[in-house]
């Protein structure tokens, strides 16, 4: 049972990484080609910019602090 859960966790994490890399590659294409990059690429870039603009700055700072704390704790545990 634990092996199945571990395999499922790895598969889901791989799926998340693949999605993140896809979004990053679309944003890179938009940065390289600009307005002539196509409808799909422009819509993805617009959605990412709307999402980034809608998140308040204190939330981003809090998220960065939490990530830094997790990183420091993980380094200490090794």
Q: What pLDDT sits at residue 66?
A: 95
Where are the chain's structural domains?
2-77
What confidence tier does 55 reach under pLDDT thresholds 50, 70, 90?
confident
Answer whether residue 62 shows pLDDT above 90: yes
Question: pTM surpassing 0.75?
Answer: no
| DSSP string for residues in 5-56 | HHHHHHHHHHHHHHHHHHHHHHHHHHHHHGGGG-HHHHHHHHHHHHHHHHS-
How confident is the model over 5-16, as pLDDT tens digits?
Answer: 999 999 999 999
Answer whether residue 47 shows pLDDT above 90: yes
- Indicate the average pLDDT of the chain: 92
């Amino acid at each position: 049972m634990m092996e199945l859960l571990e395999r499922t966790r790895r598969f889901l994490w791989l799926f998340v990484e693949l999605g993140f890399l896809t979004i990053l590659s679309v944003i890179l294409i938009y940065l390289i080609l600009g307005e002539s990059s196509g409808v799909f690429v422009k819509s993805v870039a617009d959605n990412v910019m709307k999402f980034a603009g809608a998140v308040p700055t204190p939330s981003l700072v809090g998220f960065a602090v939490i990530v830094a704390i997790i990183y420091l704790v993980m380094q200490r545990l090794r």
